[in-house]
Structure 1
Amino acid sequence: MSQRTFQFRLHSSHGSPDRATQSLVVEFLAESGQWEPQHPSLTTPGFRLYLLSLLLCQHTYLVVNAQERSIPLQRVEGSFTVLTSTEWIIEQLEGTFVMHLDPAAAAAERSRADADAIAFISERMKLCPVSRNLPATVIKTIGLRLGA
């Protein structure tokens, strides 16, 4: 049985002092092979809106928990792939997020993004209510790491 593949990528920037999201770009890989910026509206296909909500919920949980830990986040890059059956039933979700720290932040601030903090944020991302409501049969893999 064949599957459908949906791919997205995300880039966000976060400046001081509060490290809130200042810009966010989400793109969808169209059948043409071109990345298309996403600007959700009432004319966006419903299933794509659902997939965007999965991606954006993960991103929100990442940013909020990095803020909670006072991590000097500068930008986030993410990729998201969703596999469905031919009947559009989600079977697998794989996301990879990379946090980049502000190089101008003090070393003590940057050190807050240690292995324990990354593990904490990764666990908290699993609490995203959109992905938690996926059926238990869906294979979910969400990775988070620090970028160079």
Structure 2
Amino acid sequence: MSQRTFQFRLRSSHDGPTRATQSLEVEFLAESGEWEPQHPSLTTPGFRLYLLSLLLCQHFYLVANAQERAIPLQRVEGSFTVLTSADWILEQLNGDFRLRLDPAVSAEERSRADDEAIAFISERMKLCPVSRNLPATAEKAIGLRLET
């Protein structure tokens, strides 16, 4: 049996002072090899909605916990690859999120994004209810790192 592969990428901006999400772009890699912007609607295939909810839940938990730690986010970029069996059972999830801090803030504010804070956010992302409901057999790897 062959696997199915689904790939997404995400970009968001977070201007001060609240660092809330100001813009969010999500794209899906279509079979044609072209990245397609995603604007979920009632006509979006159900499984794609499920995968989008997984990606957006991870992003929400990342941003919310960065705000809690007063980390001066400027941008978040992420990539997501999901492998399923031929009959659509999720087998593997690989995510990679990269944070860019606001270069206009002080060194003290930037220092809030230390290794401990990044580890804290990464652990909290695992609490996303969509992720917690993935099959126990699915391999999950979500990376979070600070761009320099």
Structure 2, gaps ≥5 residues long? none
Any idea what the Cα deviations from partners look like across 1:56-100, whole Å, max 9, x if unmatched? 000000000000000000000000000000000000000000000
Matched to 1:142, the amino acid is I
Query: Structure 2 counterpart of 1:79, which letter?
Result: S
1:11 aligns with 2:11: yes
Give the equivalent residue in structure 1 for 2:70: 70
RMSD, aligned CA: 0.4
1:57: which partner in 2?
57
Per-residue deviation, 1:135: 1.2
Residue aligned with 1:21, SS: coil
Kindly provide the CA deviation profile for residues 17-70 of structure 1, in whole angstroms up to 9, marking residues without a partner as x.
000000000000000000000000000000000000000000000000000000
Structure 1: runs of 5 or more not aligned: none
CA distance in 1, matches of 2:134, 2:75: 28
Asked whether 1:133 is paired with 2:133, we answer yes
Query: What is the SS of the residue equivalent to 2:22?
Result: strand
Distance 1:61 1:40 in 2: 20
Identical aligned residues as a percent: 82
**Following superposition of structure 1 onto structure 2, how do residues 1-148 of structure 1 map, counting pairs within 5 Å?**
1-148=1-148
Count residues in correspondence: 148
- Alpha-carbon separation, structure 2, partners of 1:5 and 1:131: 18
Task: For 1:108 and 1:115, locate their aligned partners in 2 and report how far apart those are by CA, in whole Å.
Answer: 15
Q: Secondary structure at the match of 2:112?
A: coil
TM-score (norm 1): 0.99
Letter in 2 for 1:147: E
- What TM-score do you get using the length of structure 2 for normalisation? 0.99
